[in-house]
Amino acid sequence: MKAASVIPTMRRRDILQAVVAAAAMAAYPAGRNTFAQGTAAKPKIGMIGSGNVGSSLGRVWAKAGYEIMFSSQDLAADKAIAAEIGSKARAGTPLEAANFGEVLVFAVPYGALPELGKTLANAIKGKVAIDTSNPFPNRDGAIATEALAQGAGVTTAKLLPGARIVRAFNAVSARRMGDMHLNPGKVAMPMAGDDKQAIQVASRLIKDIGFEPVVVGGLAMGKFLMPGQPLAGEHTPDDIKKIAATLKP
């Protein structure tokens, strides 16, 4: 076979492989639970906040094969968590975690978001940011009152400009976040966001730790994702869809 005839064949083969790979990636959100399979590339996760929610999520994502950096105001505590988890975990400052993570998870009191939005401004631009924080005026002050009036998802997007916000993990207990992988697919994780690709990334992370992701709408629907709201607590995927259908942003 002449060399000139090999090139088109190789190109056709490469094109076919690319098409197959693209199809597989496109099908992923509807695929099976992949907890701990470790077969696909997993984004690094920067945890901004490592309290009950942040530590529970970080632990279970590390168990599922994700690289995690924990951060908070207590670096020593973060290092202890990372050491307990092992090679998939490390600790750093919030800025180091924001630079490390391809996906960021904000698990802090809502009142901390304005300052974090300023100090992490350059590091969060263009990144998927999962907002787990809930506004409580008694704890978080005026910004929480504003978030309750305008909607937490919409307000978070203003506080973290440039980040691709997905609101999730807002109204399920931290303990359940850490053990849902033991019985996957039974409990829905409602999520709200305006960025389609960010939703796909967050859906994968949610599915990989045992929840069934259910998009309830854009960020304006984020106001319903907090304790005391109709979408709070544990529900089946079908129930979340039915409840969400009755709500208006």
pLDDT at residue 246 in the model: 96
**Is 50 part of a structural domain of the chain?**
yes
Q: Give the count of domains, the chain.
A: 1
Where helices occur in 72-185 by DSSP H, the ranges are 75-85, 94-100, 113-119, 121-124, 137-140, 142-150, 152-159, 174-179
Q: In this structure, what CATH number is given to the domain that contains residue 135?
A: 3.40.50.720
Give me the domain span that covers residue 168: 42-245
Q: Does residue 135 sit within a domain?
A: yes
* Position 199 in a domain: yes
pTM of the model: 0.83
Whole-number pLDDT of residue 206: 96
**Residues with pLDDT less than 70, the chain:** 1-40
Distance CA 113, CA 240 (A): 28
Phi, psi of 109 (to 5 degrees): -55, 140
Residue 17 lies in a domain: no
Whether 61 is covered by a domain: the verdict is yes
Q: Please name the residue that has the structure tokens 């829905």.
A: 188
Question: In this predicted structure, what is the pLDDT of residue 92?
Answer: 98
